[in-house]
Amino acid sequence: MKVVSTSKSHGGIQGVYSHASEACACDMTFAVFVPPQAKDGPPPVLWYLSGLTCTHANVMDKGEYRRLASELGLVIVCPDTSPRGPDVPDEKDNWQFGCGAGFYLDATEQPYAQNYRMYSYITEELPALVAANFPVDMSRQAIFGHSMGGHGALTIALKDPERFKSCSAFAPIVQPSTAGWSRPAFEKYLGADEKGWRAYDTTLLVEDGKRFPELLVDQGTADGFLQDGLRPWLLEEACKKAGIALTLRMQDGYDHSYNFISTFMDDHLKWHAARLG
Amino acid sequence: MKVVSTSKSHGGIQGVYSHASEACACDMTFAVFVPPQAKDGPPPVLWYLSGLTCTHANVMDKGEYRRLASELGLVIVCPDTSPRGPDVPDEKDNWQFGCGAGFYLDATEQPYAQNYRMYSYITEELPALVAANFPVDMSRQAIFGHSMGGHGALTIALKDPERFKSCSAFAPIVQPSTAGWSRPAFEKYLGADEKGWRAYDTTLLVEDGKRFPELLVDQGTADGFLQDGLRPWLLEEACKKAGIALTLRMQDGYDHSYNFISTFMDDHLKWHAARLG
């Protein structure tokens, strides 16, 4: 692991790191914020998964998580959203596929299957690297994310509810297998047989019996992707049927940007801190 | 004035606007945050001047001012740092001169005198535009800034202490006329006669009798520009001699970045809010 940069912030350290990823067969960059409490023992760790087009840097720059993470004593890990590099197959000018659009799944189709393995990267390789290199209590993990990263957080938590004490999302893509901006990517990554897509679709995972005790979701009413891409009512319906305690908050006048995320960041950090103990 | 974008944030509106500037003879862009309190009457206005290489966007994205500005009821105006555009003379690849490096002065030398008039822009043209287009109480103004923008805030407040209820700075350039990163710019903008530079140098303004009742300055000890460019001890000395109540806080381990600024943003907002009433 290589240290790209470190900088003191709100009493803790905001760092950026890179490493040669085995899962993604390329160099990967990620950000970790370590709060001042780490000197007294390993704090819990909260994973933040970002949305389409983002790198580790967007939420690090604009998410406004450090002040409260410092108060609450949370390590915040912000991974990249896809493999990157000259050898990684991509579709330039398509922001919904390829670089910046990994969708937190393991691709099965060529030529993507070698690099686009973000599910393995986020659930196995990066946690092992973080556990080995940072002061973190891996018995206390939580996960959240935005948009495509909300999809990532929800699907990952549903498939491993024992590992995460809590899960939340900002404006998540709750049914990527039917949304216009994600269907084409799913087909290219996972093939035409939609059975294989169910493992990466929140509402279908719930339909197939996966459970997480409670979820917090914030959604802006002025979000331009609300009607076609996000459709939180599909999650509401699935959770109602399954008995999952979903707190869905429609936030009046908020859009899809980091202005929305940063406004409700404090609420999400408090939600997770209360459950991480 | 043209609305570039608006987005709800922390209950207020973060907007970006552009206009044809007379002072700078080019189009200029700036950001304004209007807190929710504006619906009950015009709030006070706090000017934030940014540092070298920045536009209006850096502090808007990374400054973390909206949460508390919303609580305290402050309008925050973030101007650009220089004129820009194809017709504006510039030195490409020189980050200490030209675009992004206006130094908040009115240039007297050719070919810069037509565009590089940031002093007039910040003290006259933009306030008039803001007063005409936003809900602001112009009888309650305050000013702060970072680095080159700290220099801007201090010099502007010293020359017009009646207008500003308070002034503060993050890692300001306190004596630009002798600092290596600003001397060449001063010579190009203002000519070789250093007498003309005194009006744009905080310590020399104080030496020449300009006064501001009290100042708050934060400075990181791990700031790479501390010894050569910033030298807050020069301000300390000048304020001591002049009887200006300077609160200079050396912040252990902090660098020159927005991680430093955002960490102490709350303190500065509270400082100004207390004095703006």
The domain that holds A194 is classified in CATH as: 3.40.50.1820
Q: Do B11 and A263 touch (CB under 8 A)?
A: yes
Question: Phi-psi bin for B9: left (phi > 0), alpha (psi -120 to 50), beta?
Answer: beta
| Nearest-by-Cβ selection for A255 from B8, B255, B259 | B8
Q: Do B266 and A14 touch (CB under 8 A)?
A: no
CA A164 remoteness from chain centre: 13
Binning chain B into helix, strand and coil, the percentages to the nearest 5 are: 35, 25, 40
pLDDT attached to residue B95: 96
pLDDT attached to residue B108: 98
pLDDT attached to residue B261: 98
Q: How many CB pairs under 8 A join A and B?
A: 65
Residue B40: Cβ-neighbour burial (10 angstroms; 0-12, 13-18, 19+) = exposed
Distance in angstroms (rounded) separating the CA atoms of residues B47 and B76: 6
Which chain A residue's Cα is nearest to B65?
A: A64
Q: Do A263 and B222 touch (CB under 8 A)?
A: no
pLDDT attached to residue A122: 98
Residue (of A242, A230, A180) closest to A205 by Cα position: A242
**By the 8 A CB rule, do B63 and A66 touch?**
no
Please give the residue range of the domain that contains residue B100. Answer: 2-276
Q: Do A262 and B66 touch (CB under 8 A)?
A: yes
pLDDT attached to residue B228: 92
Indicate which of A4, A6, A7 best probes the interface with B, i.e. most B CBs within 10 Å of its own CB: A7
Distance in angstroms (rounded) separating the CA atoms of residues A235 and A205: 11
pLDDT attached to residue A10: 98
Distance in angstroms (rounded) separating the CA atoms of residues A159 and A155: 6
Residue (of A44, A2, A7) closest to B256 by Cα position: A7
Q: Chain B: nearest CA to A35, how far in angstroms?
A: 13
Q: Chain A: nearest CA to B219, how far in angstroms?
A: 13
User: Is beta strand B45-49 parallel, antiparallel or unpaired with respect to A75-79?
Assistant: unpaired
pLDDT attached to residue A234: 98
Q: Do B260 and A222 touch (CB under 8 A)?
A: no
Distance in angstroms (rounded) separating the CA atoms of residues B24 and B214: 31
Residue B53, chain A, CB below 8 Å: the answer is no
Residues 6+ apart with CB under 8 A from A3: A15, A16, A17
pLDDT attached to residue A89: 97
Q: Do A260 and B64 touch (CB under 8 A)?
A: no
- DSSP letter (8 states) at residue A198: G
Residue (of A159, A143, A160, A169) closest to A46 by Cα position: A143
Residues of A in contact with B8 (CB under 8 A): 220, 222, 253-255, 259-260, 263
Which chain A residue's Cα is nearest to B256?
A: A7
Residue (of A277, A272, A276, A274) closest to A48 by Cα position: A272
pLDDT attached to residue A182: 97
Residue B12, chain A, CB below 8 Å: the answer is no
Residue (of A170, A125, A178) closest to A152 by Cα position: A170
pLDDT attached to residue A241: 98
State pLDDT tens for residues A57-93.
Answer: 999 999 999 999 999 999 999 999 999 999 999 999 9
Secondary structure string (H, E, C) spanning B141-156: EEEEEECHHHHHHHHH
Residues of B in contact with A257 (CB under 8 A): 7
pLDDT attached to residue B200: 98
Extract the residue ranges of chain A whose pLDDT is less than 50.
none
Alpha carbon distance, N-terminus to C-terminus of chain B: 29
Q: Chain A: nearest CA to B171, how far in angstroms?
A: 15
Tokens at A178, concatenated: 């039917």
pLDDT attached to residue B199: 98
Q: Chain B: nearest CA to A167, how far in angstroms?
A: 23
Q: Do A9 and B262 touch (CB under 8 A)?
A: yes
Residue A36, chain B, CB below 8 Å: the answer is no
Q: Do B9 and A260 touch (CB under 8 A)?
A: yes
- Cis peptide bond N-terminal to B111, omega within 30: yes
pLDDT attached to residue B101: 98
Residue A270, chain B, CB below 8 Å: the answer is no
Residue A209, chain B, CB below 8 Å: the answer is no
Q: What is the pLDDT along chain B (277 residues), one digit of tens a residue?
A: 999 999 999 999 999 999 999 999 999 999 999 999 999 999 999 999 999 999 999 999 999 999 999 999 999 999 999 999 999 999 999 999 999 999 999 999 999 999 999 999 999 999 999 999 999 999 999 999 999 999 999 999 999 999 999 999 999 999 999 999 999 999 999 999 999 999 999 999 999 999 999 999 999 999 999 999 999 999 999 999 999 999 999 999 999 999 999 999 999 999 999 999 8
State pLDDT tens for residues A124-154.
Answer: 999 999 999 999 999 999 999 999 999 999 9
Question: Phi-psi bin for A259: left (phi > 0), alpha (psi -120 to 50), beta?
Answer: alpha
- The dihedral through the CA atoms of A185, A188, A192, A193 has a sign that is negative
Distance in angstroms (rounded) separating the CA atoms of residues B218 and A135: 30
Q: How far is CA A69 from CA A75, A270, B217, B269, in A?
A: 7, 9, 25, 20
Question: Phi-psi bin for B11: left (phi > 0), alpha (psi -120 to 50), beta?
Answer: left
**By the 8 A CB rule, do B158 and B211 touch?**
yes
**Of the listed B56, B146, B151, B256, which one is catalytic?**
B256
Neighbours of B169 (CB within 10 A): 30
* B223 a catalytic residue: yes
Distance in angstroms (rounded) separating the CA atoms of residues B25 and B147: 25
Alpha carbon distance, N-terminus to C-terminus of chain A: 29
Q: Do B10 and A263 touch (CB under 8 A)?
A: yes
Residues of B in contact with A260 (CB under 8 A): 7-9
Count of structural domains within chain A: 1
B220 forms beta bridges with B251
**By the 8 A CB rule, do B152 and B145 touch?**
yes
Residues of A in contact with B253 (CB under 8 A): 8
